[in-house]
Structure 1
Amino acid sequence: MRPPSIVWFERLFLLSLLIASIAMVTSFDTLVAQVEADPALAGLGWGRGAVIAISAISLLLPLVLWYFIARRASAFAKWLLVLLTVAGLLFLEIDIARITAADTLMTLLVTLLQLVAIVLLFRADARAWLASEDVVDGTP
């Protein structure tokens, strides 16, 4: 049986991915317009397809990490998620003038949910579970 910290990690992390998916869908046209307006990217022929591919990868990688952390007790996946999150925080752009804009609020909410979820991975019950071996379908 998975410990409470892992269960809460899973809930919060998947909620953050759901909100991120909604944000991607609602800002899709804006993202495509930005890519098409960038001369360097336009010269490469990037457009709608590139935005779809990047969005899919942006959701697929966290889903894979979630699976290996929450269902397979992978400490490696935990540390990879921590590393990618720290790298993502370095590139987090918050425009105070637009703090009420829906996309900025969703970005902040997604970031907060993911940070809380990651902190849960460092609680004693989660650390012990992630350190265990022979995990099959989330049960050590």
Structure 2
Amino acid sequence: MAGVNAVLSMQDTLADPRLARSGLGMGFIVGVQVFSFALMLALWFFISRRAGNAARWILTVMTVLGMLVTIPMVPVLAERGIGNMAFALVITVLQVAAVAFLFRSDARAWFARKGGIAPDDQSIFS
């Protein structure tokens, strides 16, 4: 969803006078977005397929930092339109919820087993 938000707000981002003064253009913005998207996909891969505890904590820290950046940006997003603001807030809430599920007791047990099936659940899959 963050990628959708980036695409929808690309014109506003490129029209920002601070970006024009910095000399960074569309190639830089697209490169940063592609890198960010690839990083998030890699983290979710390592969390969901490899039960990577380090990836879980990296994602948690990145989500908290993203939340700390998004909340003060609400007035700026509101100036760009209520849709942009609402979309950014919905994305933030969904990301926080997804990360919170990674710390439920069943998820912690799954990470402790390195993604294996719980001993009492093996009869289901036999």
TM above 0.5, one fold? Answer: yes
Uncovered stretches (5+) of structure 1, i.e. residues with no partner: 1-18
DSSP 3-state at the match of 1:94: helix
* 2:35 matches 1:54: no
Aligned-partner residue type, residue 101 of structure 1: I
CA-CA distance at 1:35 after TM superposition: 6.2
CA-CA distance at 1:59 after TM superposition: 1.1
Task: State, as a whole percentage, how many aligned pairs show the same letter.
Answer: 32
CA-CA distance at 1:33 after TM superposition: 2.0
* 2:83 matches 1:102: yes
Report the number of matched residues: 114
Please give the TM-score of this superposition, normalised by the length of structure 1: 0.72
Q: Distance in 2 between matches of 1:130 and 1:71?
A: 11
User: Aligned residue for 1:32?
Assistant: 14
**1:58-81 deviation per Cα after TM superposition (whole angstroms, max 9, x unaligned):** 211111110001111001100111
Contact 1:20 1:106 (C-alpha < 8 Å) held by counterparts: no
CA-CA distance at 1:49 after TM superposition: 0.1
Inter-CA distance 63–120: structure 2 relative to 1 (3 Å threshold): same
* 2:98 matches 1:117: yes
Note the aligned Cα RMSD (angstroms): 2.2
Inter-CA distance 61–122: structure 2 relative to 1 (3 Å threshold): same
Higher relative contact order (CA 8 A, sep 6+): 1
CA-CA distance at 1:38 after TM superposition: 3.7
Please tell me whether Structure 1 or Structure 2 has the larger radius of gyration of its CA atoms: 2
Uncovered stretches (5+) of structure 2, i.e. residues with no partner: 118-126
Contact 2:77 2:84 (C-alpha < 8 Å) held by counterparts: no
User: Aligned residue for 2:60?
Assistant: 82
**1:24-43 deviation per Cα after TM superposition (whole angstroms, max 9, x unaligned):** 1121122122267541x12x
* 2:111 matches 1:130: yes
DSSP 3-state at the match of 1:95: helix
